Structure 1
Amino acid sequence: MSRLDNVLARIDANLDKSVERLFDLVKIKSISTDPAFKGDCRAAADWLAREMSDFGISASVRDTEGHPMVVGHRAGESKPGPHVLFYGHYDVQPVDPIELWEEDPFAPRIVTRPDGSKVIVARGAADDKGQLMTFLEAARAWIAETGDLPINVSVLLEGEEESGSPSLHPFLEANSEELSCDLALVCDTGMWDAKTPAITTMLRGLVGEEITVTAADKDLHSGMFGGAARNPNHVLAEIIAGLHDSEGRVTLPGFYDGVIEMPDDVKALWDKLGFDHSAFLGGVDLADPAGESDRTALEHIWTRPTCEVNGMWGGYTGAGFKTVIPSKAQAKISFRLVGDQEPEKIREAFRAYVRSKIPADCSVEFAEHGGSPAIRLAFDSPALTKARKVLTDEWNAEAALIGCGGSIPIVGDFKTMLGMDSLLIGFGLDDDQVHSPNEKYNLSSFHGGIRSWARVLDELSKG
């Protein structure tokens, strides 16, 4: 047997202990958004640092202005392959509404479903404790079986991902030399389905803007002033309506600069995935595609930029009826970016467009809510090729190369601040109910994820 075979055999033999350790971590109520759980976040960081140090990755808890980071290293010797930085987060979402949980969210349990599959149910089982533990358990098995890891590995685990990562930028800036590696490994993504592994090769970027349109200096009686006074709700509605044309395209000048068309061979791979466009919308009780009329739903969510209104309000919105012309109207607008679109250019184009629509006796204010570019990994990347090979071997199904409609800001930070590309391999599923009651993580995802990372570490060590 090869050393990899021995490592995989150890993983199989010790699966129950791996599950026990995941349970111990999940029991810690590390809700980063609620100050009442600050001590629990510290406890989760301490637990992770202690566990890593015990099995052979020298780790420490690093204080920040918010919740602490955990940094670990098993590096220093000259080894083949890249020095990788694994990233995950130990904080979790709040459990509300608690009444919809079948049992205590922080009392993890294994449930056997009608089809015979087993799932781990608890807050954080999938996002992101189960995911990060797949990597740590793979590293544990390698060190226990062979005495070392096949490549140099560093680890960064944060405790504020679910609350906007306010401490992350300062921490990366202050520790850039220590954390800069050859490649980042991120396990906060998913599989194509329960039997098909996937590597996420594209993430959309994000620009967030909040606008406030002000007309009169106070709310006005609509009988006394209606028709004569400017209504900021009308102004805002016109602005929003003008953001798209009749074909669903965004109208901002230069908006599509940097948008890249996918190669035909990549589109052919996606066609093989059998994505059901009708079922995608039908699952949320919709039928007619929106967005650019000449694009498929899969293109919309993976490779095309968007402009969405996430909220708009003005005037009286409570129960009953109040006949006022509001003084202010507000909206939150987000743009998902792809390819080489530049966040600041999109922001500037949006603000210029809004200002052009503001009447002379009104004013507008802007509030910035983050901005990050899109990320894509070259399809001929050596790391991608190696990972795809071993994932296909482990799952006995060709690993899919997929896009992601969402954004993972840390991946952009790794690129812009530390100069690293990221390899995004996750084992979550669409039905894991992350952020929702009764969050779950398939036991097959956990077990297969550990085995997959063991294979990835081995393959990266090869020339």
Structure 2
Amino acid sequence: MTDHRTSAIGYAHENSIRFLEELKDFTSIASISTDDASKAEVLHAAEWTAKHLRSLGIKNVQIFPTPGHPVIYGEWLDAGKSAPTALIYGHYDVQPVDPLNLWVTGPFNPDVRGDYIYARGITDMKGQMMVALDAYEAISKTGQLPINLKFLFEGEEEIGSPNLASFLESHKELLQCDFAINPDTGALSPDIPCITYALRGLAYMEIRVHGPDHDLHSGVFGGAILNPAQALCELIAGMHDAHGRVTLPGFYDKVRPIDQAERSELNRLPIGDQYYLNATGAPYLYGEEGFTTIERLGSRPTLEVNGLLSGFTGEGAKTVLPAWAMAKISTRLVPDQLPADVYNQMQSYLETHAPKEIRWNLTPMHGGPASISDRNSIYIKALERSLETVWHKQPVYKREGGSVPVVLDFQQILGVETVNTGFAMPDDNMHSPNEKLHLPTWYRGIDTFIHFYFNLAE
């Protein structure tokens, strides 16, 4: 098997340029799942994925329709019943590109500049999907894969995977496996390989505030009618207290605290506050008092405003008192918190604090609970050995601040644990203009997955 590993690694290195060209082709597809105008492009990405799976010799490739965007399935089970079976998860949909004017090059015109390639979805997560597939190709073209693989790629992760749980429920037998692999997380830096053992949950919502039934002249009516933009901003400002704590009633009631041993381990990670200042460009850090930055980012819940809209935002001046204001808000949740509870808490907050001069409505959009994986599983230990082989140092274990709802679905519906890993960097601009991928780390990721597939068989 050692000779096969060496051959597979050599194949990956020899085909690195082609791997990159295929990634460029994939990321040139504008598969924005939240945009109805992009439905054809999302379908194009699904078809591209299925075609690529077939080209690799993966069997039983199917495009399953859902009420939203399709699910792609494929399998390679020739390692036999005695070998472990892994279910590899990925998503081919991407975030919107706004604001477009901040992109240096077109978001769907992949551009290599130095050690980076820039494109929407290059890190989140088309590049990470291709790591798993390129490693499979390298092994299968130089011998036989020592484990069984099933592939599950969805097109709705960026909108909360609304149809994936029902798909898992109705395809349990097809998806039966020993464990799942989710390569949709990241590292702390190119020199620090990581294994993610916990992911936060999500509750996403929209608040609309209405005052007059149409925009008014701010000179004629200003001072007589409460401005909906002002009312909404005051409501948002009250959602945190002076100590950085969220003020929604009952928000912290079900928060599962981390023990002192885990707190100590998290705070031994080789990063500090300066790391986050450098990564973000912010002048100062902010957050809930009583917790370090690394604790706040993975083990504590948060509330963030994702967008605000009201009134006139075009060039020049227009003196209006707007009829309405809107905010999109997300909360990141930790174990034992539930999205439905948070929506109810927000409802209670608005009922208590919204002024009588406005009307308001709250719309829950999507979300899912947090998840934690067993750090001592044989599968995670196999990944640990793989990362150590490639990086020549032991990986660190961390909590991830982001959300991947399917991980908990795999636990609850399929009854399997998930190995979370990935090669994204905190400054890769995921969900922002100029999303990028560090190519040297990406190539090391392919090598890591080659070792991982072999280590899983041992």
Worse-matched range after superposition: 367-376 or 261-270 = 261-270
Change (3 A) 1:241 1:12: same
In the alignment, what sits opposite 1:86? 88
Superposed, 1:12-51 pairs within 5 Å as 12-28=10-26, 29-33=28-32, 42=43, 44-51=45-52
Indicate if the aligned counterparts of 1:49 and 1:59 stay in contact, CA closer than 8 A: no
Superposed displacement of residue 186, structure 1? 0.9
Q: CA 1:291–1:53 in structure 2 vs 1: closer, same or farther (change >3 Å)?
A: same
C-alpha contact (below 8 Å) 2:156/2:162 kept by paired residues? yes
C-alpha spacing 1:381/1:225, structure 2 compared with 1 (3 Å)? same
Q: 1:363 to 1:384 in 2, by over 3 A?
A: same
- The answer to whether the 8 Å contact 2:29/2:108 transfers is no
The share of aligned pairs that are identical, in percent, is: 37
1:132 aligns with 2:134: no
Mapped to 2, the partners of 1:16 and 1:384 lie a distance apart of: 29
When residues 12 and 257 of structure 1 are mapped into structure 2, their CA distance, relative to the original with a 3 A threshold, is farther
Q: Is the 8 A contact 1:260 1:338 kept in 2?
A: yes
Instruction: Confirm whether residue 460 of structure 1 aligns to residue 456 of structure 2.
Output: yes
Partners in 1 of 2:324 and 2:450 — Cα distance?
Answer: 56
Q: Which amino acid aligns with 2:73?
A: V
Q: Are the equivalent residues in 1 in contact too, given 2:197–2:397 (CA < 8 A)? A: yes
Q: Which amino acid aligns with 1:306?
A: T
For residues 271-420 of structure 1, the aligned pairs below 5 Å read 271-281=267-277, 283-318=279-314, 319-322=316-319, 324=321, 326-360=322-356, 362-420=358-416
Question: Residue type matched to 1:6 in 2?
Answer: H
> Structure 1: which amino acid aligns with 2:134?
E
Cα separation, partners in 2 of 1:8 and 1:434, compared to 1, 3 Å: farther
Give deviations 1:352-386, integer Å, cap 9, x for gaps.
12112234564321111212111222333333233
> Do structure 1's residue 450 and structure 2's residue 446 form an aligned pair?
yes
- Contact between 1:30 and 1:37, CA under 8 Å: does it hold in 2? no
- Over residues 29-74 of structure 1, what are the superposed CA-to-partner deviations in whole Å (9 max), with x where a residue is unaligned? 3211277876665555445434434544214241425554321112
1: CA distance, partners of 2:397 / 2:448: 16
Match of 1:183 in 2: 179
Q: Which amino acid aligns with 1:52?
A: L
Q: Which residue of 2 aligns with 1:62?
A: 63
Residue 403 of structure 1 deviates from its aligned partner by 1.8
TM-score by length of 2: 0.85
The alpha carbon displacement at 1:461 in A equals: 2.9
Give the drift of 1:134. 1.8
Q: Which has the larger radius of gyration?
A: 1
Determine helix, strand or coil for the equivalent of 1:243.
Answer: coil
Deviations 1:198-232 (A, max 9, x none): 11112111112222233444455556655554444
Question: Corresponding residue for 2:7?
Answer: 9
Distance in 2 separating the partners of 1:334 and 1:229: 29
The CA distance in 2 between the partners of 1:51 and 1:334, in whole Å, is 35
CA contact 2:218–2:319 (8 Å) conserved in 1? no
How far residue 396 of structure 1 moved from its aligned partner, in angstroms, is: 0.9
Range 212-221 or range 95-104, more displaced: 95-104
Q: CA deviation at 1:20?
A: 0.7
Pairing 1:200–2:199 present: no
Does the 8 Å contact 1:79/1:152 carry over to 2? no
Matching residue's letter, 1:330 = M
Q: What are the within-5 Å matches in structure 2 for residues 145-164 of structure 1?
A: 145-147=142-144, 149-162=145-158
* 8 Å CA contact 1:203, 1:403 repeated in 2: yes
Kindly tell me: are residues 71 and 313 of structure 1, through their superposed partners in 2, closer, same or farther at Cα, counting changes over 3 Å?
closer
Distance 1:190 1:167 in 2: 25
Change in CA separation of 1:354 and 1:388 when aligned onto 2, cut-off 3 Å: same
- The CA deviation string for residues 96-129 of structure 1, in whole angstroms up to 9 with x for no partner, is 74895469954665x6x4xxxx555555543433
Secondary structure (helix, strand or coil) at the match of 1:178 reads coil
How many residues matched? 451
Compared CA separation, residues 315 and 191, structure 1 to 2 (3 A): closer
Change (3 A) 1:272 1:230: closer
1:214 touches 1:328 (CA, 8 Å); kept in 2? yes
User: How many angstroms apart in 2 are the aligned matches of 1:368 and 1:104?
Assistant: 29
Residues 1:22 and 1:58: Cα distance change in structure 2 (over 3 Å): farther
Aligned pair in 2 of structure 1 residues 17, 48: CA closer, same or farther (>3 Å)?
A: farther
Root-mean-square deviation (CA), in Å? 3.3
1:453 positional shift? 1.6
Residue 282 of structure 1: how far off its partner (Å): 5.1
Secondary structure in 2 aligned to 1:181?
coil
